[in-house]
Structure 1
Amino acid sequence: MALHRVNTDDYQQQLDQKVARLREAYASYTNLEPEVFPSPPSHYRLRAEFKMWQEGGRVDYAMYKQGEYKKPFVIEEFTVGSERINELMPLLLEAINNSEILRKRLFCTEFLTTLGGDALITLIYHKQLDEIWEAEARALQEQLGVPVLGRSRKQKIVLDRDYVIEKLDIDGRTYEYKQVEGSFTQPNGEICRSMIQWARSCCEGSKETDLLELYCGNGNFTIPLAEKFRNVLATEISKVSVNAAQENIAANGVENLHILRLSAEEFTQAIDKVRPFRRLKDFDLDSYDFSTILVDPPRAGLDTDTCAMIARFPRILYISCNPETQLENLAELTKTHKVERFAIFDQFPYTDHTESGVLLVKK
């Protein structure tokens, strides 16, 4: 099925197939019936990237089938994209086609939006951007009422701002997130909210203990979970994400959370006292009483050393964008822990991809 246009009547059937497949895949580790969190059937994706097809003095949004990069098909609608993306697409395209300066050598356009309707447009070129381009882009920005950002090789021109502000209502409170262009953000806002609420429900009764989180990004999970614990220590390797997380901590008034710029592998070395880190000189890791560790690793899953390290914790909250690698890790983790909760999040409808979550408790 082409993802730019989907038949929403098929949604429940494709979700049921995913759930059946994952239930069978996880059967070796749990007989729990999964908690299933469906996506909105359409307009669920908050970010999108389109190649720009240049032909006959005109540019159009285009996509390619995998392995067929010389056979684009023009995109006139994007059913899976947010309402805001679909609103902006024709307006932007018309403006670009009315300006040779904006159109010439444009090869990619990116949209970043939020559930609240904030938006950012990035135009990416095979040319250096000059003052003439900037003047045209500023006029475009004023016309659309949306921040525009220009990129080319070794060049980034921010006309207004390079981020959007997301606001998520979670369990009666609104959390605010700065989401920076080019950094990781959850693509499906409603599923993101469901994952946060599920994670919070897994952490009830932990107020007298501490939380450790690896791969914390911009604080997506960390900030709403902070009130469930006495103290929270979180790590992230991306400098951009760490900076955004620090701003998000301040914006949400969280005072019991500290972010460290360390990879999961580096933190494992630190907690095992393999080598010291200057970034940890003001932190006494032994003073924390970690009852729970939260991990949301990249698609490759947890490396062997990190997997062994987290197995020491009483409770492991493991959210994964790749159930296959999570299952590989569960082969080790279930030697010491049992699966207490199992969740399926339909982050990417109409594809084979699914996010999964497990709460593991020490045997």
Structure 2
Amino acid sequence: MSLPRFQPARYDALLADKVARVSALLAPFDPPAVTVAPSPPEAFRMRAEFRFWHAGDDSFYAMFDPAAPKEPLRVDDFPIACIPIRERMEPLRRALRDHDHLRRKLFQVEFLATTTGEVLVTLAYHRRLDEVWEAAATALAEALDLAIVGRSRGQKVVIGRDWVTEVLTVNGRPCRYRQREQAFTQPNAAVNEAMLEWACAAAAELPGDLLELYCGNGNFTVPLARYFPRVLATELSKVSVRDARHNLADNGIDNAAVVRLSAEEMSSALRGERPFRRLAELPVALEEHDLRTAFVDPPRAGLDPATLASLRRFDHLLYVSCNPLTLAENLAALHGDYRITRFGLFDQFPYTEHMECAVALGRR
């Protein structure tokens, strides 16, 4: 995580600049009026990662400015982090500093929190963790009301659990999510809720069953499943597939299935190029799905050519992007066959250049 330039007094102006820049980038594709979801100007991040720096008898959280990458910048407070993280930062720092066994060769601290106040901390070391460390970490977890995961090369020690349960409210409904340590989750809970509601509003108008690629832990799958007869979701990460299945069950959703396939593999299956044994595990066969809508939330590289080509079989596309540049490249390929019917911008990362985008596409 790079050091953000925290300027809450300028938040509205900074957001307006980003909206203007991304709107201009996508203007050639004739989007409708944009819906903009701002972030809270502070206390919005549910994740934070710091180096843990040692200077004599003192130890502190540190970040690095890209302009001076070898000079640690001490972080005593992190105002963009959510309150549960900020409340624990200093007590945790003191406890780690003052306990020789917890401090020794500790080089990184990661926080993962929820809107309901749960906090999980990952402590990364350049040494093997032993029973003395585990006993000290257990006492620390109890004292600060958090879960702890200790990591070193080839070793993971869990104190309590290695996940938190997030509860997001989407159109008045609570959605429960198991979010795993070091797995991807959306960092800004308030903006994530706005993204989920945007996706639900778009989905309410769409026919047939849904194919979702890059489903992660089911962040979008859980609320979107209410709008389709069936949902077939794919994800490559084994951990995320396991958590997505847990999250569907935890939310009482029985019309969605998650399969461990890459987007490229799913595209191959849709073209009938090869069978996949994992698809045979579906409660309803692939060919019995009425797949007319696709939802994609790809990584920053965007959609590969094969996946992009396979999506042309769908009448409707919902595309959430963390990279406007690759979104524009993909839209250029789709623009002749599809028109943008909805356009949303979501400020997941205030005080940075990043902007989350979403478009709904319908066949011309």
Q: TM-score range by the shorter chain?
A: over 0.9
Equivalent in the alignment of 1:138: 138
CA offsets, 1:301-321, max 9 Å, x none? 000010111122100000000
Equivalent in the alignment of 2:216: 217
Secondary structure of 1:311's match?
A: helix
How far 1:34 moved relative to its partner? 1.1
Rounded Cα–Cα distance in structure 2 between residues aligned with 1:290 and 1:241: 23
Equivalent in the alignment of 1:326: 327
Equivalent in the alignment of 1:162: 162
How far 1:69 moved relative to its partner? 3.1
Give the counterpart letter for 1:106 in structure 2. Answer: L
Secondary structure of 1:281's match?
A: helix
Write out aligned runs for 1:1-363 (5 A): 3=3, 6-66=6-66, 68-206=68-206, 209-283=208-282, 284-363=285-364
Structure 1 residues 282, 111: closer, same or farther in 2, change over 3 A?
closer
Rounded Cα–Cα distance in structure 2 between residues aligned with 1:173 and 1:99: 44
CA offsets, 1:247-289, max 9 Å, x none? 1111000010000000000001111111111111244222111
Rounded Cα–Cα distance in structure 2 between residues aligned with 1:54 and 1:71: 13
Structure 1 residues 67, 262: closer, same or farther in 2, change over 3 A?
farther
2:245 and 2:258 in contact (8 A); partners too: yes
How far 1:32 moved relative to its partner? 2.1
Rounded Cα–Cα distance in structure 2 between residues aligned with 1:128 and 1:31: 54
Structure 1 residues 200, 31: closer, same or farther in 2, change over 3 A?
closer
How far 1:98 moved relative to its partner? 1.4
1:301 and 1:325 in contact (8 A); partners too: yes
Q: How many residues align?
A: 361
2:53 and 2:107 in contact (8 A); partners too: yes
Structure 1: any 5+ residue segments left out of the alignment?
none
How far 1:77 moved relative to its partner? 1.1
Give the counterpart letter for 2:59 in structure 1. Answer: V
My pick for the range that moved more, 3-12 or 347-356, is 3-12
2:235 and 2:261 in contact (8 A); partners too: yes
How far 1:169 moved relative to its partner? 1.1
CA offsets, 1:323-351, max 9 Å, x none? 10000000011111001111100010000
Rounded Cα–Cα distance in structure 1 between residues aligned with 2:205 and 2:214: 24
Secondary structure of 1:202's match?
A: helix
In the TM superposition, structure 1's runs of 4+ consecutive aligned residues that sit over 4 Å from their partners are 2-5
Give the counterpart letter for 1:250 in structure 2. Answer: A
My pick for the range that moved more, 285-294 or 81-90, is 285-294
Superposition RMSD in Å? 1.2
2:4 and 2:352 in contact (8 A); partners too: no
Structure 2: any 5+ residue segments left out of the alignment?
none
Identity of matched residues, %: 47
1:29 and 1:334 in contact (8 A); partners too: yes
1:242 and 1:261 in contact (8 A); partners too: yes
Secondary structure of 1:15's match?
A: helix
2:31 and 2:340 in contact (8 A); partners too: no
CA offsets, 1:214-247, max 9 Å, x none? 0000000011010100000000000000000111
Give the counterpart letter for 1:170 in structure 2. Answer: V
Rounded Cα–Cα distance in structure 1 between residues aligned with 2:83 and 2:358: 28
Rounded Cα–Cα distance in structure 1 between residues aligned with 2:149 and 2:204: 42
1:3 and 1:350 in contact (8 A); partners too: no
Rounded Cα–Cα distance in structure 2 between residues aligned with 1:61 and 1:181: 19
Secondary structure of 1:71's match?
A: strand
Secondary structure of 2:27's match?
A: coil
